[in-house]
Structure 1
Amino acid sequence: MKTVQSSSPDETIKIAKEFAKTVKPGDVICLDGNLGAGKTQFVKGFVQGLGLSSDIVSSPTFTIINEYEGELPVYHFDCYRLEHVQEALEIGAEEYLYGDGVCVIEWPDRITDLLPPSAKHVTFSITGKKKREISFQ
């Protein structure tokens, strides 16, 4: 496990851009952390690291999945509003999770039963007003 410190949203974006260089098609990245911990900022940096504009990133709270098309498609899940795994199945989550793009999932604990064993976990802890501890597993 690797842990890094971030002291600003811009630094979180920079960390995510570097992390994006390590992913490959089919990877599933689970983002764990409380509301306001920096998960969506991380996704902004992540897509930048894959050559996309961070302007396309918004929290998909109401749509559940946002698709960002680039050389490597990114599927950004926000499972916060899901109450049952069945809801994720109904929107075709498995096709994304076992496809050729990269899935980035906020609130992955809502769909634990669907996640592949190879899923990578990034955990965000709030350590100050703008400070975060980001752990990669």
Structure 2
Amino acid sequence: MSTPTLTRTVRSESPDATHRLGLRLGELLQPGDFVGLIGDLGAGKTHLVRGVAEGARVPRSEVASPTFAIVYPYRGRIPLYHADLYRIADYDELYATGFLELPGGDGAVLVEWLDRVPEAAPREYLRVTLYPTHEDARELYAEAFGDRPAALLAAWLP
């Protein structure tokens, strides 16, 4: 694994604050961006994802958990591909889903449970790990791998 180009840590005191962090990230996403999310069940990934989708101007009614579909495409300001790897055992199984054939440049990719199949991440990407600290509070640790992800992270969490 390579060394991050840039890291940031931010604390979220509530699900609404986590949603707002996602909203800001979604406003900044560009085609080709890849964001991997890591965190235990209940860590706040869904709140962040819903915020990202809203920030990318995806209608709220379209945002669902893709746990059973693996990948769910959304139409917004840019195409947003939301994947959930929770039920994926390894890279070979992921390959069989067609995930690796997602259009690389026409939209952004948002992947929950990236730690289940870390090799699914491209060489350059943004990784966000969510840690519950107490009750509704979360710490988000973001790592950028590459120049574009570093610029995205610097704009998201200056």
Q: TM-score, normalised by structure 2?
A: 0.80
Shift, 1:111, TM fit: 2.4
Give the distance between the partners of 2:90 and 2:116, measured in 1 at CA: 7
SS where residue 28 of structure 2 aligns?
A: coil
Query: What are the residue-to-residue correspondences of 1:40-55 with 2, within 5 Å?
Result: 40-55=46-61
SS where residue 40 of structure 1 aligns?
A: helix
Q: Provide the residue aligned with 2:16 in structure 1.
A: 10
User: Percent identity between the aligned chains?
Assistant: 37
- Provide closer, same or farther for how the CA distance between residues 71 and 58 of structure 1 changes in structure 2, counting only shifts above 3 A: same
Give the distance between the partners of 1:55 and 1:129, measured in 2 at CA: 28
Give the distance between the partners of 2:39 and 2:120, measured in 1 at CA: 19
Q: Provide the residue aligned with 2:40 in structure 1.
A: 34
Tell me which of 93, 104, 112 is aligned to 2:118: 112
Q: Provide the residue aligned with 1:67 in structure 2.
A: 73
In the alignment, is the contact (CA less than 8 A) between 1:122 and 1:134 conserved in 2?
yes
Give the gaps of 5 or more residues in structure 1: none
Shift, 1:82, TM fit: 0.6
Deviant stretches of 4+, over 4 Å: none
Tell me which of 36, 45, 56 is aligned to 2:62: 56
SS where residue 110 of structure 2 aligns?
A: strand
SS where residue 57 of structure 2 aligns?
A: coil
Cα distance per residue 1:73-132 (max 9 Å; x no partner):
111111011112122212211122634211111111222223211011011000011000
Instruction: Give the aligned residue type for 1:110.
Output: R
Shift, 1:135, TM fit: 1.8
Shift, 1:72, TM fit: 0.7
Give the gaps of 5 or more residues in structure 2: 1-6, 144-158
In the alignment, is the contact (CA less than 8 A) between 1:97 and 1:115 conserved in 2?
no
Q: Provide the residue aligned with 1:90 in structure 2.
A: 96
Task: Name the count of aligned residue pairs.
Answer: 137
Instruction: Give the aligned residue type for 1:130.
Output: D
**RMSD (Å) for aligned C-alpha atoms:** 1.4
Cα distance per residue 1:43-94 (max 9 Å; x no partner):
1000111112233222211111111112311111110111121222122111
Give the distance between the partners of 2:40 and 2:70, measured in 1 at CA: 17
Give the distance between the partners of 1:113 and 1:127, measured in 2 at CA: 28
